[in-house]
């Protein structure tokens, strides 16, 4: 009998796209686990309820790729959950999925948060770098103290009372996100910060991945952002907490470090069709992201 060869080329297979709403959430969970992302099935479902997207399936229904977009008003969208299964990467699947997503997004202004692996792909599609996102996470420690003097101005906001929150969020984000607010609120603790009767900051905390995520956080200064985050950390001692911010240094990062939320990784925010609103003292700014996919 002849010796079988040591190598062989397996027959390649075809992939076809399908609406992401149509597949079993466990297949999506397996896809994101395969690239070591922390999303639970519930996180995927929450994103699917908010946005649109595709998966790429082989002939027997295995999911090899995903990509999603999330409209924020008529003129803006965020892109996320762009994944190719490791064994099919660098074969053009990511670009194929992105082309389909971009076609659906039309001429909306686009925002996404890019990993290192995806950076070249997005730049080649016309996206421009805007800022670094610092993913801070860890087990919350009990002794981080809020900024003295501001804590009294923090109030709990009911998940049904989102009018002012949505207006403030839209001013900071640069596009209206009332649907996102309404979607996050039922599972969130929400805190607001009021100055002279006016809501000047808000923050949410909600279950995500391994524990709790704090975000979005909108404020008019770092001190106010710290106060909101401190209020949202109350009662979370010893729990795994994550917050993504574009603040490179300063009071918020120092506070997060003291509270046990250390820098874990970075991604880069890229936009197409318009710059990211600046975070400056004295005007509403995004100090904590809602999620990578939602910015």
In the complex, the residues that contact ligand COA under the rule CB under 6 A are: 35, 82-84, 89-95, 114-115, 117-118, 120-121, 124
Tell me the closest approach of the beta carbon of residue 258 to ligand COA, in angstroms: 30
Q: Which is nearer to ligand COA, 114 or 137 (CB)?
A: 114
Tell me the closest approach of the beta carbon of residue 111 to ligand COA, in angstroms: 12
What's the rounded Cα separation, in Å, for the pair 163 and 17?
A: 38
Tell me the closest approach of the beta carbon of residue 87 to ligand COA, in angstroms: 10
Residue 217: both structure tokens together: 């956080």
Q: Which is nearer to ligand COA, 177 or 268 (CB)?
A: 268
DSSP state of 186: G
Residue 254: both structure tokens together: 């120092």
CA atoms within a 13 Å half-sphere pointing along the CA-CB vector of 168: 26
3-state DSSP assignment of residue 288 = strand
Q: Which is nearer to ligand COA, 84 or 221 (CB)?
A: 84
Residue 32: both structure tokens together: 């994101």
245 with 222: CB under 8 angstroms? no
End-to-end CA distance of the chain: 61
Tell me the closest approach of the beta carbon of residue 37 to ligand COA, in angstroms: 7
Tell me the closest approach of the beta carbon of residue 13 to ligand COA, in angstroms: 15
Residue 235: both structure tokens together: 């009662």
Q: Which is nearer to ligand COA, 124 or 198 (CB)?
A: 124
User: Residue of minimal CB distance from ligand COA?
Assistant: 94
Tell me the closest approach of the beta carbon of residue 153 to ligand COA, in angstroms: 37
Alpha helices in 138-283 (DSSP H): 163-173, 178-184, 222-233, 251-258
- b/e per residue, 248-267, with b = 16+ CB within 10 A? eeeebbebbeebbbeeeeeb
Q: Which is nearer to ligand COA, 120 or 198 (CB)?
A: 120
Residue 201: both structure tokens together: 């900051």
Q: Which is nearer to ligand COA, 34 or 207 (CB)?
A: 34
What phi and psi values does residue 39 have, to the nearest 5 degrees?
-55, 135
Tell me the closest approach of the beta carbon of residue 246 to ligand COA, in angstroms: 16
Q: Which is nearer to ligand COA, 52 or 194 (CB)?
A: 52
């Amino acid at each position: 009998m002849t010796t079988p060869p040591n190598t062989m080329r397996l027959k390649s297979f075809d992939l076809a796209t399908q609406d992401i709403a149509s597949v079993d959430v466990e297949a999506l969970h397996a896809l994101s686990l395969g690239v070591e992302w922390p999303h639970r099935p519930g996180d995927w479902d929450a994103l699917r309820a908010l946005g649109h997207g595709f998966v790429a399936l082989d002939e027997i229904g295995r999911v090899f790729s995903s990509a999603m977009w999330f409209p924020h008003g008529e003129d803006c969208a965020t892109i996320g959950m762009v994944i190719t299964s490791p064994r099919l990467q660098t074969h053009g699947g990511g670009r194929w999925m992105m082309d389909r997503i971009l076609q659906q997004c039309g001429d909306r202004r686009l925002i996404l948060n890019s990993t290192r692996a995806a950076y070249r792909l997005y730049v080649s599609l016309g996206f421009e770098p805007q800022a670094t996102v610092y993913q801070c996470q860890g087990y919350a420690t009990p002794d981080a103290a809020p900024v003295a003097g501001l804590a009294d101005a923090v109030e709990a906001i009911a998940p049904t009372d989102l009018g002012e929150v949505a207006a403030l969020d839209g001013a900071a984000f640069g596009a209206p996100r009332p649907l996102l607010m309404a979607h996050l609120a039922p599972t969130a603790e929400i805190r607001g910060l009021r100055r002279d009767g006016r809501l000047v900051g808000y923050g949410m905390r909600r279950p995500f991945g391994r524990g709790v995520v704090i975000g979005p956080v909108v404020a008019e200064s770092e001190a106010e952002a710290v106060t909101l985050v401190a209020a949202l950390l109350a009662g979370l001692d010893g729990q795994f907490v994550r917050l993504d911010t574009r603040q490179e240094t300063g009071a918020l990062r120092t506070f997060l470090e003291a509270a046990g939320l250390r820098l874990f990784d970075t991604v880069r925010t890229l936009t197409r069709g318009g710059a990211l609103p600046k975070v400056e003292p004295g005007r509403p700014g995004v100090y904590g992201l809602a999620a990578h996919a939602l910015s």
